[in-house]
Amino acid sequence: MLQKKVCMLGSFAVGKTSLVRRYVDSIFSETYTTTIGVKIDKKVVTLADTEMSLLLWDVYGEDSHQTVLPAYLRGMAAYLLVLDPTRPGTYKSAISLHNLVNTTLGPKPFILVNNKCDLINEWSGVPQELQEQIKILQDSAVAEMNTSAKTNTGVQEMFVAIATALLPVAQQK
Amino acid sequence: MTFEAPLPILQYLRSISHQGTCYAYLKLDANNFLIESGSNLVYFDVTCFDSEKTIDQQVPALSGLLPVKGQPVVIANTQIDSSHFNDLHIYSHQSNQWVLLLDSTESATQLQIEQQIRLSNDIVNEKKSG
């Protein structure tokens, strides 16, 4: 069976852990619990005619005191770049993490994830000064998806989409 | 039961000042097959090994990390189950690779408490500043 490491990357408190918990354990908690280091989960995803084992690395979020260390990215096949559009500061983290991946590993497939779409009325929009860089992210992503771990919107679709992007080209449909 | 770890493990432990910490180790060949393992493997839940498979096929946390050549790879505070944090060290020695698991539960739990307070305050401040 194919086995692929997929990292959850993003600023702190954007919902990376909640997305993994929703997908792996089918649970959601309103309580925010910070991630230390990395939590590793395994989930087998069934695609059209094949199975893939996703190793989900839920990496601690970037904040003003810490950046993600390149060692956590080692062996990563793809990543989910998670934003909380209700918090403008999370766009800047997404850009810096995308640049870290490119510098450390070179380009890897990723999905730009606008999480917390249950709060879409509170989304702030991309800060003016970051619009050009976010456009580059959007153009280089496999897809841009809206998700909500709370309402279970788009979560399974997001993980299936990144797994599909990791299939050999001949198997992608 | 007394246990004497191999010299490379003891030397490495000394170099990172982790004497007294609960640990387990795996010795691998250059193709990622297990040669030897020891110390507290049960604590880290790495106990069943199939000699026909590479170690990264059996220990998911190692997938993508091997082989290691040159500088050691250190992944701090990995959490595979909800009860333990481990520091994962992988380094090469002669023609072999060593994987060392060190328990970091105590320090990680303390760090989590401190970080939780700090980041919760940051979120409140972000909301205040709009």
- Note the pLDDT tens digit of each residue in B118-127: 999 998 888 8
Structure letter (DSSP) for residue B27: E
pLDDT at A17 over 80: yes
Of A3, A39, A72, the CB nearest to B63: A3
The C-alpha of B14 sits at a distance from chain A's nearest C-alpha, in angstroms, of: 22
Q: Do the chains contact at A37 and B77, CB–CB below 8 Å? A: yes
- Reported as half-sphere exposure (CB side, CA atoms, 13 A), residue B66 has a value of 27
Q: How far is CA A140 from the centre of its chain?
A: 14
* pLDDT, tens digit (0-9, with 9 covering 90-100), for B90-121: 999 889 999 999 999 999 999 999 999 999 99
Of A34, A38, A64, the CB nearest to B79: A38
Domain range for A105 is: 2-168
For CA atoms A94, A95, A96, A97, the dihedral sign is: positive
Contact A113, A39 (CB under 8 A): no
Between strands A143-146 and A110-114, the pairing is: parallel
* pLDDT, tens digit (0-9, with 9 covering 90-100), for A43-70: 999 998 899 999 999 999 999 888 999 9
Interface check for A24 against chain B (CB to CB < 8 A): the answer is no
Interface check for B41 against chain A (CB to CB < 8 A): the answer is no
Contact A8, A58 (CB under 8 A): yes
Q: Do the chains contact at A40 and B60, CB–CB below 8 Å? A: yes
Q: Do the chains contact at A74 and B65, CB–CB below 8 Å? A: yes
pLDDT at B79 over 80: yes
Complex confidence, ipTM? 0.88
Interface check for A38 against chain B (CB to CB < 8 A): the answer is yes
Contact A19, A6 (CB under 8 A): no
User: 78-137 in A: which are within 8 Å (CB) of B?
Assistant: 87, 89
Locate the domains of chain B by residue range. 7-105
Give kind and range of the element (H or E) at residue A53: strand A51-59
d(CA B90, CA B68): 7
Give kind and range of the element (H or E) at residue B58: helix B55-58
* pLDDT, tens digit (0-9, with 9 covering 90-100), for A85-143: 999 999 999 999 999 999 999 999 999 999 999 999 999 999 999 999 999 999 999 99
pTM summary value: 0.91
Backbone angles phi, psi at B115, to 5 degrees: -70, -35
CATH number of the CATH domain containing A129: 3.40.50.300
Interface check for A70 against chain B (CB to CB < 8 A): the answer is no
Q: How confident is the model at residue B20 (pLDDT cuts 50, 70, 90)?
A: low
Class of the CATH-defined domain B7-105: alpha beta
Taking every pair of C-alpha atoms in chain A, what is the biggest distance, in angstroms?
Answer: 45
In this structure, is residue A173 part of a structural domain?
no
